[in-house]
Chain A
C-alpha cells in the first residue's frame, strides 16, 4: 500500500503496479486497460509517492508474479547486486536527480546498467520530462558489432527497410539501391516479408546476400520472419546474418508471439555457429512496442510503458545488435496522437539505453492516429539529439507493404546534416569508396555509380 496526502485528500495505491500505472503520463492504451489515473491530480499524487519509493523496493515486489512468468524470473535472477550498489540507497526521485547529475557519466552509467531492472528505469522515466529523457539517454553509450560498428558517439545508423507488398525481389532491390545511394543501411538491410513462407524468406535472404557480396557492403542483412522460420533456414544452410524476433515484456505476451526464452537461446546459438560477423558477434535483432502485451491480453494490469521496458530486459539477455521500438505502429487505441507517440518514443529510447540495449526507434504513425509528418520531424530530431542508435529508412517514408509512415532516407540524411551525425565508420568508408560523399563528406549521390548498375533489372 502506497499513500500520499495532498491537502485534505489522501490518495492510496494498493500495490506497485497500480502506483506505476497511475504515475504514467496519459496514454490511450492505459485508459483502454482501465488502469490509468482518473484525474490529473491523481497522476501527480502517484508520481509523488513513486518519487519517495526506495529503488530497492523493485527487488522485493514483482509487478508480474515471479512464479508464473519467466520474464520476471529473468529480471530478478540475473540482477547484478554489486552493480546496483552505486544507487541502492536512492529513492526513485533521488535516482532521477542522480542520473541528471554530472557524476553520472557515460562509464558510470555503463557499469550501472546490469544493476538496473526494467521496473526501476520505467519508474524513473515516469518522473522525467522529455528533456530529462533526452539528457539522460545522451549520456549512455551502447556499442554493438557484426560487420559494422553500431552506436559509437556522434554516429546515427539507419535500417534500410525496402518492403514490397508481394515480396517481389526486383522491387525490393530497387528500393535497396535507392537507400544505399542515400547512405541508408549501415544498421541493417532488413525486409519485413509480406508472408511467413519459408521459401519466400529463403529467396529474399539469398538475394540480400548476393547484393551484399556484389557491392562488398560492410553491413548485415535480415528478413524479419518468425524466429522458427529463420531457425529452420539456418539449419538448411541459408545465409542468415541476424535472427529477428518481435518480443514483449511478459511470458504470456511472448507466448502469443509463439516464442519463449529457450527458443530465443536456441536461435542465437544457431546464428552464432555461423560465425558470419567480421567485427563482432551480436547476432540478434528485436522489435518491440508499447501496447503489445495489452493487445495480446497478457498485461497483468501493468501499464504499457513498464511492460515495454521489461521487453528490453528480454532483449538484453541475448546481446542483440539492434533493438527498436516501433512506437507509433500499433494505432491510436494505444498511443492516441503525436504527443503520446513522442513521449513514448523518448521513454522507450531512454529506458533501453539505461538498461544497456542498443536502442533504435521506428519513428512512425498510422493513418488512423492523430499524427502527421510534423510530429515525426519533431520526434526524430529529439531522438537524434538524444543519441538514438538507429532509425528506419523507408523510401519516401511510405511503407507500401505495412501501410504506415516511418522515416525516409531523406529524413535520416537531413538529421545527419543538421545534427552532425555520421554513419557507422565501416559503412562511411564504403560510401566514400563508392563516390557518394561530396567534398564536405556529406552524402550527396550524383550519377548512378557504374557497379550499382549490377542491381538494375536486366
Chain B
C-alpha cells in the first residue's frame, strides 16, 4: 500500500466516522494544536451562539405573527428590566412585572390551559419555532374541547414565569415555550415545559420537558404531537413531572442545563 492509498483509506474512515456524530472529530492539527480552519469554524459557531443570547427579542413582531394565526395574544414582561438583569437574577425572570397583573387579570377565567411563549436564553428559538408548534397544537386542543386561555408572550422570562401567568389567569395547567441555552451548534433550540396546577412550591421535578425543538433536533410538528400526548396524560391523571414521565417513553427529560451537575 502506498502512502497515498493509506491517506485515502484514512480519509474514507474519517468521513464514515463523521457521519455518525455532529461532534468535532478528526480535526486537522498543526503540531499538537488545532489547525487554522477548524479554529475559525469554532469561533464562528461561538460568535453565533453569543449573538443568539444577546439578540433583542422582537416581541411586538412575534405578537403580531402569533395573533394572525387566530388566538388572542397578550404581551407582558417579567420583573427583569433588561438582559443583564435577566442573566444575573433568575428570581426576577420567574416573576411578572408590576403591570403584567393588570393586563392578565381581566382575562382570568376557568381555563384548562394557558400557552406561554418567552425568549429565555434564545429569542431566535421562539421566533422561529413557537408559531409552528402552536399551529400543530391549537386545532387539536380546540377539537378536543380544551378551554385555552389567551396566548401570553413574556419578555425576559424563565420557565417558572409560566406559573405566575397560570395563577394570574386562573388556568389549571401551563405550557411554556422558551429559548434554551444556545449550544455551539444549536443557537435556536426551543424547549417546552408542562406543569399541572403550578403553585409556589412547584419545582422542576413537577414539570415535564421536551427539549431540543429545532431544525436539526425535534421538529416542531413532531413536538406538537408529543406535547399533545403529554397534555392528555397530564389532564387524565391530574399531575405532571417525574411520575408522569415514568409512563411516557416518548418524552426525553433532558434538562441539559442541569444534567451535568445533578
- Let me know if B90 and A333 touch, CB within 8 A: yes
A444→B33 CA distance, assembly (Å): 11
- Let me know if A410 and B20 touch, CB within 8 A: no
A53→B182 CA distance, assembly (Å): 45
A249 at the interface (CB under 8 A from B): no
B197 vs chain A, min Cβ distance (A)? 21
Pick from B6, B38, B261: contact of A246, CB below 8 A: B261
A59 at the interface (CB under 8 A from B): no
B236 at the interface (CB under 8 A from A): no
- Let me know if A192 and B260 touch, CB within 8 A: yes
A285 vs chain B, min Cβ distance (A)? 13
Known: A174-B17, A367-B182, A410-B29. A400 touches B88 (CB 8 A): no
- Let me know if A403 and B25 touch, CB within 8 A: no
Pick from A178, A332, A416: contact of B32, CB below 8 A: A416
| Chain B neighbourhood of A413, CB < 8 A | 32-33
B26 at the interface (CB under 8 A from A): yes
> Could you tell me which residues of chain A, from 283 to 297, have a CB within 8 Å of some CB in chain B?
287-289, 292
For B53, give the chain A residue with the smallest CB separation. Answer: A368
> Could you tell me which residues of chain A, from 386 to 437, have a CB within 8 Å of some CB in chain B?
395-398, 400-405, 408, 410, 413-414, 416-417
A368→B20 CA distance, assembly (Å): 28
- Let me know if B88 and A28 touch, CB within 8 A: yes
- Let me know if A457 and B16 touch, CB within 8 A: yes
A83 at the interface (CB under 8 A from B): no
Known: A330-B261, A333-B88. A400 touches B183 (CB 8 A): yes
A450 vs chain B, min Cβ distance (A)? 10
- Let me know if B184 and A373 touch, CB within 8 A: no
- Let me know if A368 and B181 touch, CB within 8 A: yes
Known: A333-B87, A416-B32. A195 touches B253 (CB 8 A): yes
- Let me know if B262 and A171 touch, CB within 8 A: no
A405→B52 CA distance, assembly (Å): 16
- Let me know if B260 and A402 touch, CB within 8 A: yes
Pick from B6, B91, B185: contact of A398, CB below 8 A: B185
- Report the interface size class on chain B: 35 or more
> Could you tell me which residues of chain B, from 38 to 79, have a CB within 8 Å of some CB in chain A?
38, 42-43, 45-46, 49-50, 52-53
B256 at the interface (CB under 8 A from A): yes
> Could you tell me which residues of chain B, from 161 to 204, have a CB within 8 Å of some CB in chain A?
180-186, 189
A139 vs chain B, min Cβ distance (A)? 28
For B183, give the chain A residue with the smallest CB separation. Answer: A403
- Let me know if B262 and A246 touch, CB within 8 A: yes
A212 at the interface (CB under 8 A from B): no
A178→B259 CA distance, assembly (Å): 24
> Could you tell me which residues of chain B, from 77 to 93, have a CB within 8 Å of some CB in chain A?
87-91
For B41, give the chain A residue with the smallest CB separation. Answer: A396
Pick from A177, A400, A453: contact of B185, CB below 8 A: A400
A68→B45 CA distance, assembly (Å): 47
Known: A368-B121, A395-B25. A171 touches B46 (CB 8 A): no
A126 at the interface (CB under 8 A from B): no
For B43, give the chain A residue with the smallest CB separation. Answer: A373
How many chain A residues have a CB neighbour from B under 8 Å? 64
Among A170, A196, A401, A453: residue with most chain B CB under 10 A? A401
A264→B174 CA distance, assembly (Å): 37
A194 at the interface (CB under 8 A from B): yes
B103 at the interface (CB under 8 A from A): no
A213→B180 CA distance, assembly (Å): 39
A349-369 Cβ-contact flags toward B at 8 Å (1 or 0): 000000000000000001110
Pick from A163, A336, A397, A456: contact of B16, CB below 8 A: A456
A-B contact pairs, 20 of them (CB 8 A): A162-B23, A177-B17, A194-B259, A224-B260, A292-B261, A331-B257, A333-B87, A333-B90, A373-B43, A396-B38, A396-B42, A398-B42, A400-B183, A401-B256, A408-B24, A414-B31, A416-B32, A447-B6, A447-B10, A453-B13
- Chain B residues in the interface with A (C-beta under 8 A): 6-7, 9-10, 13, 16-18, 20-27, 29, 31-34, 38, 42-43, 45-46, 49-50, 52-53, 87-91, 121, 180-186, 189, 212, 217, 252-254, 256-257, 259-262
Instruction: Give me 20 other A-B pairs in contact (C-beta within 8 A), A175-B23, A403-B183, A414-B31 excluded.
Output: A31-B88, A32-B89, A163-B23, A177-B25, A178-B25, A289-B261, A336-B88, A367-B46, A367-B182, A368-B181, A368-B182, A373-B46, A396-B24, A398-B183, A398-B184, A400-B21, A400-B23, A402-B259, A408-B24, A447-B6
- Chain A residues in the interface with B (C-beta under 8 A): 28, 31-32, 162-165, 168, 170-175, 177-178, 192, 194-196, 224, 226, 246, 257, 287-289, 292, 326, 329-333, 336, 366-368, 372-373, 395-398, 400-405, 408, 410, 413-414, 416-417, 442-444, 447-448, 453, 456-457
